[in-house]
């Protein structure tokens, strides 16, 4: 178990990694990466039971699937700093022939990545399949996944949501990054999502809401509650209210940084707001 301060320090370093990676190649998605930072930090540093001696089947360990694959800078940073591959490899982000492509892929064998996630809407289907495989294999570990709220505008999700409840996939916790923003504006402007809690519950899920989605202790609490609710015949959903661009003031409260790289001056500003804690790559 990690202390709150240790997790905050980890997340702070991850913020540095994200903006440095995106700035270096003038390409990538910092907004959502920063918004989900604390969640993935807690998940990998405090909650999941896994081995860094990576195997695709993940037998007898918890497994995470990133569905909103455009937030790969966050995923790569957390994986590397959790011991899956050398931190120095972050410097190859989005470069030709790098294992750290703009969206995670599996063909280069990057440890920690079990699905290619570029096309939105597919991650839940994969996660449910993995959860059912664990049940068939008598493996009592859990499956976790992360999805963007705008991603739920994809119809495949709702087939998967119906299937998971209908087949009692109760070893699965899906978290929705509920920031209300997507590439073209707010989700309300693009395609309103309605009452997500009521929708998931109507499909037969257990739903938890956490309004402090960038607070370490709140995330720890809601994940612990979600874990306690598994094994009860229903899948579990966490609606996590986050702030896109969290931790860097000029990137917050707007969708503008969904997929834009900071300038040299903006990078310096962002790094000054987040001093080193673990050391840069």
Ordered by start, the domain boundaries in the chain are: 4-273
Integer CA distances (angstroms), 219 to 13, 93, 148, 281, in order: 18, 28, 17, 27
pTM value? 0.97
Residues 91 and 100: their CA atoms lie apart, in Å, by 9
Average confidence (pLDDT) per 10 residues, the chain, 281 residues:
95 98 98 98 98 96 98 98 98 97 96 94 97 98 98 97 98 98 92 97 98 98 98 98 98 96 98 97 95
pLDDT attached to residue 144: 99
CATH number of 4-273: 3.40.50.970
Measured N-to-C along each axis, helices 4-25 and 216-228 cross at an angle, to the nearest 10 degrees, of 110
């Amino acid at each position: 178990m990690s202390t709150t301060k240790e997790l905050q320090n980890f997340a702070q370093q991850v913020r540095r990694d994200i903006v440095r990676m995106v700035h270096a190649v003038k390409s990538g998605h910092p907004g959502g990466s920063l918004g989900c930072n604390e969640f993935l930090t807690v998940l990998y540093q405090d909650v999941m039971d896994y081995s860094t001696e990576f195997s695709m089947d993940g037998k007898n360990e918890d497994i995470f699937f990133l569905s909103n694959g455009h937030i790969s800078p966050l995923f790569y940073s957390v994986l590397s700093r959790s011991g899956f591959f050398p931190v120095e490899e972050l410097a190859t982000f989005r470069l030709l022939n790098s294992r750290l492509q703009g969206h995670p892929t599996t063909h280069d064998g990057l440890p920690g990545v079990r699905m290619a996630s570029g096309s939105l809407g597919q991650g839940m289907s994969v996660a449910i399949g993995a959860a059912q495989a664990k049940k068939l294999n008598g493996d009592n570990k859990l499956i976790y996944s992360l999805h963007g709220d705008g991603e739920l505008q994809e119809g495949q999700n709702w087939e998967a949501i119906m299937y998971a409840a209908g087949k009692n996939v109760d070893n699965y916790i899906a978290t929705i990054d509920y920031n209300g923003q997507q590439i073209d504006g707010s989700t309300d402007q693009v395609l309103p999502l309605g009452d997500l809690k009521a929708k998931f519950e109507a499909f037969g899920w257990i739903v938890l809401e956490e309004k402090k989605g960038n607070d370490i202790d709140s995330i720890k609490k809601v994940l612990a509650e979600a874990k306690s609710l598994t094994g009860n015949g229903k899948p579990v959903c966490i609606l996590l209210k986050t702030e896109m661009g969290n931790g860097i003031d000029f990137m917050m409260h707007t969708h503008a940084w969904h997929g834009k790289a900071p300038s040299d001056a903006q990078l310096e500003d962002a790094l000054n707001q987040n001093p080193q804690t673990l050391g840069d790559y």
